[in-house]
Amino acid sequence: QIQLVESGGGLVQTGGSLRLSCAASGSTSSINVMSWYRQAPGNEREWVAGITTSGITNVADSVKGRFTISRDNAKNTVYLQMNSLEPVDTAVYYCKTIIRSQPYWGQGTQVTVSS
């Protein structure tokens, strides 16, 4: 079993920055890829970024150059640094991992960007 807990969301003005954290607990040795997703009201959940245990990253085109994903394997924590935030980035941000084909999601953290 894996538990994922996100934190770091909040209200920020356009152009501001936030850093989200996702702390994993439980059978963390089984974790490889950790990802961030987001879901805005009325929209489907969309993938934002992912990172492997070895640090290989990938970021969605919509946030490339503004968002950076990183992880601290010793702390079992993945981060999402979000810069130059825009109102379109307003969403609930979720952390996800998959272990033996079983997806695990965090509860989400709200990010609101005001114009």
**Tokens 């929209």 found at:** 43
CA 89 to chain centre: 12
Q: Which of these, 32, 13, 33, lies nearest to 115 by C-alpha position?
A: 13
The strand pair at 46-51 and 57-59 is best described as antiparallel
Average pLDDT over all residues of the chain: 96
**What is the pLDDT, as a whole number, of residue 30?**
87
**What is each CA distance from 43 to 35, 38, 65, 74, in whole angstroms?**
18, 9, 23, 35
What are 39-49's pLDDT values in tens digits? 999 999 999 99
Q: Given this model, what pLDDT does residue 93 score?
A: 98
